[in-house]
Amino acid sequence: MEQLIVIKIGGNVIDNTPVLEKFLSDLCVIDGPKILVHGGGKLATELSTSLGIETKMVEGRRITDDATIRIVTMTYAGFINKTIVAKINACGGNAIGLSGVDASLIPAARRPVKDIDYGWVGDILASRINTNLLSALLSAGLTPVIAPISGTAEGHLLNINADTIAQSLAVSMSSLYQTTLLYCFEKKGVLSDVRDENSVIPLIRISEAAELKANGTIGSGMIPKIDNACRAVSDGVSQVIIGRSDDIISIANNKHGYGTRISH
């Protein structure tokens, strides 16, 4: 099977223009099919503040009322998505910006209200991801750039977690491609010593993860990321890599000390 890389970038890349521009020009150098999923960064919060709309977060998730779904759609699917696409294409890439509503790429449903009403926050209907469209775009040499917005079956826009989109897309595309999922964060990889940036653990096998968590090698802050990565690998992704956006060329070239691979 052909190889595919699904890359997730978040606020630490998006909010820093020089870092974002270096990342996007590096991305253009990496051959082969790629999908880029981006989060939102601080722009939505800044716009809300400027408009006098209160930002409410619960456990890191944005409570998305009527005013907020407009703001996140404007910032994520509008300014951030088109800025990234324009910059990739200016570097000689061939990106196409999409959200989950486009061609019903990522069907979703509003999250049911239990203890918390998240508002217009959605959960992905993973079995219905439009892998045919993504595959056709990739075959045409395009790099889909996905904003974390989708919609209900009735056509109401929804705010979706970008990490979850990246994971769901990577799992779905694993039926068609040998898929690597790369989460960019602020460190070179998972560190065996949090005080030493050079103590990157190069490889974590999912069979070893439980022991590395139990003996403290994987710090508590990394546990949710590692758990998600192990689940993605169990669900069909060939490998998950956790590393720094600044290092994607070194990561793509398997250079030692850059990125932690989680695999079978």
Q: Which residues pair with 122 in a beta bridge?
A: 110
- Among the candidate windows 8-16, 57-65, 87-95, 198-206, which touches a second copy by CB under 8 A? 87-95
Q: How far is the CB of 54 from a second copy (least distance, A)?
A: 15
Element (H, E) at 242: strand 239-244
Q: For residues 81 and 169, what is the distance between their CA atoms, to the nearest angstrom?
A: 17
Of residues 122 and 259, the one with the C-beta less far from a second copy: 122
Smaller CB distance to a second copy: residue 95 or 190?
95
- CA 217 to chain centroid, in Å, comes to 25
* 48 binding a second copy? (CB under 8 A): no
Q: DSSP letters of 109-130? A: EEPPPSS---BSBEEE-GGG--
Quick one: tokens of 122? 């959605």
**Could you say whether residue 56 binds a second copy (CB under 8 A)?**
no
Residues numbered 100-159 forming contacts with a second copy, rule: CB under 8 A: 101-104, 133, 136, 140, 142, 149, 151-157
Q: Where does residue 112 rank: exposed (0-12), middle (13-18), buried (19+ CB within 10 A)?
A: exposed
Which residue lies nearer to a second copy by CB, 55 or 178?
A: 55
Is 81 a residue that touches a second copy (CB under 8 A)? yes
Q: Could you say which of 20, 77, 129, 241 contacts a second copy (CB under 8 A)?
A: 77
Task: Return the residue of 91, 109, 125, 126 that touches a second copy, per CB under 8 A.
Answer: 91
CA distances from 58 to 116, 144, 189, 227, 239 (A): 8, 30, 27, 21, 31
Interface contacts to a second copy, rule CB under 8 A? 47, 50-51, 70, 73-79, 81-83, 85-87, 89-91, 94-99, 101-104, 133, 136, 140, 142, 149, 151-157
